Structure 1
């Protein structure tokens, strides 16, 4: 059933950019029906189009820094050692699932590249592993718990005043990370979903006689070593192959991070800019020379094209939404069908469904946040928990939407349909569990007034 659905979606689903563009058109039409003129809608769209440029760059750097760290020589050697551990196909697939989930808590960009390299190394060591099941296992972090970790777009955005659109800030203020991802409730969701995901990956893994291996699919994961250039051919290239500049830059970077943590504390210091800055410094250090670092950055650039071109569309949607009065309509709608008890569940279902059409954790939150947080405030529901409801449920449609699969597909040289069957199997189990968790844990989160600083 999963493979049939994947083939259908590959044939009929347009590119992720088309989903975002369609959302702009739909919101614009609704705004016109609500009385806005075409000129007003166009002005709303264009005026806000560039509002998310800082946030867009921050999201692009999450991908770049994750890629840079994962492809560094020390991390690659670590992956090679880890790949020697599993000895059977089922254990290998569960093993990949575990590391995909754990690394996604550090960075979703890092997780995809790390998992892709790990899959290729294990494929060269363990015979009879189904490449489709292992690829789906490598994607699990993005479909389960990544948004509950340190690279959570919504949580980082709400903790960073400079990244929050002014209209949204007036509703929510800032929401510190200590109230979102650094809570025991969030830890419960992480543990439950991790155990569930690994169990499904293990029990659903085909035996050797039924497995379709990478070799059967015509995939060659054998390493082709290319000689590494150790020094420049010209005097002008000397600094490119010397670690001197790297050492100085990293020293300055760590002085800044140490000072910031000393002033604010480790949790308050973790905002989008500092998070990316830390990963960037680690990437510089791991690659050691500017030339190795720049080569890795160049290889990461294709993976950020979707973010760069789509996020301005989400900002345009936000502008139309806020100025047309549609935001107020949606707030009233959610208030009419929700109570303090049911709102976390209803908002979770809504976020999951919308994720099929707007496959972007941060960009989609910008669209949803105004009316979800306003409704939460009216119903005396903890707004920080609504951020976490969003984080847990918006990951669900990633299991069947190819947008976030792209970096992993590129590393493995496969198509979305190859892993969609097993990822849909995970989705079937995850949906009821996630919805139950966001509902039952909401009862432990008291309402907290907005923080304006």
Structure 2
């Protein structure tokens, strides 16, 4: 496994381009496929591309805020101390990979945003701690371990399609009604899959760690330290004007903290973690970060540092939205999905639906967005084949999450925080993806 992992990582480092190049290249590929397989002409397809180009603006802003608020929260002094204690636990490089993978996977099961940001943060902090303690750990492999949460999230409590079909008034209610989580996320085949990922993915990553002499440690420039110096001495505080003192006072933070808790506590009590959508997650990160930093000045400095990592999200998300526009408006997505249905049987359809979702996710890398355009096709197929619609929902969910292992769209925040090129990470995560697809295929084929 070590030789295989090293070979795949070397291949991906050499041949997988920067995430921005990948986004543009995928745009061209989808355009050419639509040109050859649909009745939309060249100019019309450009119109389809532009029609979708700005469709992820709200989501891009949410993701940028996940990066900024998550970074600011994790870089607060109390959070830094807590993470430092956890990061100091592993005594060897394989143990560091296992700890990071288990943490990211568990967090991803709870909420995809937590798994994405906290997993990346944990990878950086563990790498830094290992370097300081003389434990030579391969940082690209550790970053891949921090990415495992994005390969289980749709099977967890924040899975968008399982939650959507469990919501009154969802767009497919007339066809399938309300499907409770007991028939999707809490089905035995999904729980077995999650257990296999929680145990198998860390072991797989541990087995791929290169020899000590070949390990690439985190560099000092990759630490991502928040700027220090926000705490002022008494003399410096006295030299500030009254207006400037407000930035270093705890009073404004306390006002925002009280107001935030008034909304957050009832919302979580009423809906639990299942109701933790992206907006509420960002709000929790914001309020918690302000409270832990204690002053607006401290939080602003940390947020400014975190904002440096958001550029790739802001620039690249419109290109993926454009790809989604081509897939949806040209009818290419329906052609791909119908092709898989054409040779499926009741016994094989869950597997082929999973594989088709893996492929579609490369061009439509949004759980909710993918279900919106692929869901009606899957629901019709399950009805015609006499299958439980909940199985179809989870087939799409599983396929959607697993091909994240080679999809730079979701890796962008992790790549920004670790400051690694996509090729160095995706070679290792691809191995975990193949393992996950094998496990998910067996589970949904024989346990559903």
Task: After TM superposition, give the deviation of residue 289 of structure 1 in Å.
Answer: 1.8
Q: Is the 8 A contact 1:328 1:371 kept in 2?
A: yes
Q: What secondary structure is seen at the aligned counterpart in 1 of 2:339? A: helix
Per the TM alignment, residue 373 of structure 1 is displaced from its structure 2 partner at its CA by 4.7
Q: How far, CA to CA, are the matches of 1:16 and 1:416 in structure 2?
A: 6
Matched, 1:6 2:9: yes
Cα distance in 2 for partners of 1:161, 1:15 equals 42
Contact 2:16–2:422 (8 Å) recurs in 1:
no
> In the alignment, what sits opposite 2:129?
121
Structure 2 equivalent of residue 112 of structure 1: 120
Change (3 A) 1:54 1:439: farther
Of 187, 201, 204 in structure 2, the residue corresponding to residue 200 of structure 1 is 204
Note the C-alpha offset of 1:240: 1.8
> In structure 2, what is the equivalent of residue 346 of structure 1?
352
**Structure 2 residue 86 is matched with structure 1 residue 79:** no
State which drifts further: 109-118 or 12-21.
Answer: 12-21
1:358, distance to aligned residue in structure 2 (A):
5.9
1: distance between equivalents of 2:297 and 2:226?
20
Match of 1:287 among 289, 293, 308: 293
Deviation at 1:47, TM superposition (A): 3.8
Give the deviation of 1:382 after TM superposition.
4.6
Give the number of aligned pairs: 435
The answer for the alignment partner of 1:229 in structure 2 is: 231
Looking at structure 1, the residues matched to 12 and 93 of structure 2 have their Cα atoms a distance apart, in angstroms, of 28
Structure with the largest fraction of helix: 2
| 1:94 partner SS | helix
* Cα distance between partner residues in 2 of 1:318 and 1:161: 26
Indicate conservation of the 8 Å contact 1:96/1:138, yes or no.
yes
Residue aligning to 2:443: 437
Q: How does 1:200-279 map to 2 (within 5 A)?
A: 200-205=204-209, 212=215, 214=217, 226-230=228-232, 233-261=240-268, 265-266=271-272, 269-279=275-285
Does the residue aligned with 2:291 lie in a helix, a strand or coil? helix
Deviation at 1:288, TM superposition (A): 2.4
Task: Check if 1:139 corresponds to 2:157.
Answer: no
Q: Is the deviation greater in 186-195 or in 313-322?
A: 313-322
Structure 1 contact 20–358 (Cα < 8 Å) conserved: no
Mapped pair 1:148 → 2:155: yes
Aligned ranges 1:8-407 → 2 under 5 Å:
8-29=11-32, 31=34, 34-38=38-42, 40-105=44-109, 106=111, 107=114, 108-142=116-150, 144-150=151-157, 152=159, 180-181=184-185, 185-205=189-209, 212=215, 214=217, 226-230=228-232, 233-261=240-268, 265-266=271-272, 269-355=275-361, 368-369=374-375, 371-376=377-382, 378-379=384-385, 381-407=387-413
Measure how far apart 1:422 and its partner are.
4.2
Deviation at 1:194, TM superposition (A): 0.7
What CA distance in whole angstroms lies between the structure 1 residues aligned with 2:304 and 2:167?
Answer: 28
Whole-angstrom CA distance in 2 between matches of 1:23 and 1:146:
24
Q: Distance in 2 between matches of 1:381 and 1:81?
A: 49
Distance 1:223 1:274 in 2: 26
Q: Structure 2: how far apart are the matches of 1:346 and 1:440?
A: 14
**Alpha-carbon distance, 1:424 to partner:** 4.4
- Evaluate the alpha carbon distance shift between residue 314 and residue 288 of structure 1 in structure 2; reply closer, same or farther with a 3 A threshold: same
Alpha-carbon distance in 2 for matches of 1:383, 1:311: 31
Q: What CA distance in whole angstroms lies between the structure 1 residues aligned with 2:176 and 2:288?
A: 33
Closer/same/farther in 2, CA of residues 357 and 27 from structure 1, 3 Å limit: closer
CA contact (8 A) 1:327 1:371 kept: no
Cα distance per residue 1:226-277 (max 9 Å; x no partner)? 4443376333222222222222223222222334456x53266333333333
Residues 40 and 358 of structure 1: CA distance in aligned 2, closer, same or farther (over 3 Å): closer
Task: Identify which range, 181-190 or 65-74, moves more after superposition.
Answer: 181-190
In the alignment, the residues of structure 1 paired with residue 83 and residue 298 of structure 2 have an alpha-carbon distance, to the nearest angstrom, of 19
**1:380-420 deviation per Cα after TM superposition (whole angstroms, max 9, x unaligned):** 54555444434433343444455544544554454445445
SS in 2 for 1:35: coil
**Pair 1:408–1:196, CA change in 2 (3 A):** same
Question: How far off its partner does 1:109 sit?
Answer: 1.9
Deviation at 1:158, TM superposition (A): 6.8
**Which stretches in structure 1 are left out of the alignment for 5+ residues?**
444-453
Helix, strand or coil for the counterpart of 2:275? Answer: coil
SS in 2 for 1:79: helix
1:276-324 Cα shifts (integer Å, max 9, x gaps): 3333322332222222222232222343334333443444444444444
Secondary structure of the residue aligned to 1:350 is helix
Tell me the TM-score normalised to structure 2 length: 0.78
Instruction: Sort the Cα spacing of 1:191 and 1:22 in 2 relative to 1 into closer, same or farther, 3 A.
Output: same
Tell me the distance in 2 between the aligned counterparts of 1:412 and 1:323. Answer: 36
